[in-house]
Chains A and B, each alone.
Chain A
């Protein structure tokens, strides 16, 4: 089946930029998403990008998509302690309806 991979852990200092990376295998992916999960909570949609775009910026968040290499990244500018959470990359295939395939998540730790 299709696969989405993420690194497990990232640690940054408050005020620095964070970059979380994701790779996927489904060449028919139409939308790619970033979700945030805080302890004991559900998933919060942060941002998404359509597959015909290569960049999307939303306040402190920048999403970069390299469709050729099937690589997605999420950059968080001026990272704050409140950004500490698990970040999930997810993709939706062309004929997947509303079904998402998720990566295993990257735990972001922000040190004061």
Chain B
């Protein structure tokens, strides 16, 4: 049983460019959440997708957008990249429930913006 998989593992972009990160959830999971982890900090919630819709959003600008596909996989898009967007981007999957107790994380995509 594959866990949460993310691609690519590393990415280097320049300021102003756009980037797309991808995530496949754990088998049996239907909800995908994205987190940004800056160096030396804890992960910060970006948004969550369920049934192909954004259900919750953290304090991130509109430059951050996402998508969920019918097979539950998800993409995170970031436009007009800034140096401060350099971080580890983590995807987490779960089953949709307001009382669900377990989120499983992928290994992340390390984004460097030069």
Contact = CB atoms under 8 A, between A and B. Distances in A.
Contacts of A104: 40-42
Contacts of A24: none
A39 to B, nearest CB: 11
A28 to B, nearest CB: 12
Contacts of B35: 100, 102
B96 A98 contact: yes
A105 B41 contact: yes
A88 B40 CA distance: 12
A109 B101 CA distance: 28
**Interface residue tally on A, bucketed by range:** 20 to 34
A41 B98 contact: no
A101 B45 contact: yes
Contacts of A33: 103
Interface of A: 1, 4, 30-31, 33, 35, 41-45, 48, 50, 88, 90, 92, 95-105
Interface of B: 4, 6, 31, 33, 35, 40-45, 48, 55-56, 58-59, 90, 92, 94, 96-108
Please classify the interface of chain B as helix (H, G, I), strand (E, B), loop, or mixed, using the class held by over half of its residues. loop
Contact of B90 (A31, A42, A45, A103): A42
Contact of A42 (B40, B41, B96, B108): B108
B48 A99 contact: yes
Contacts of B43: 43, 88, 100, 102
A43 B90 contact: yes
A60 B98 CA distance: 30
Given A102-B43, A105-B41, A95 B108 contact: no
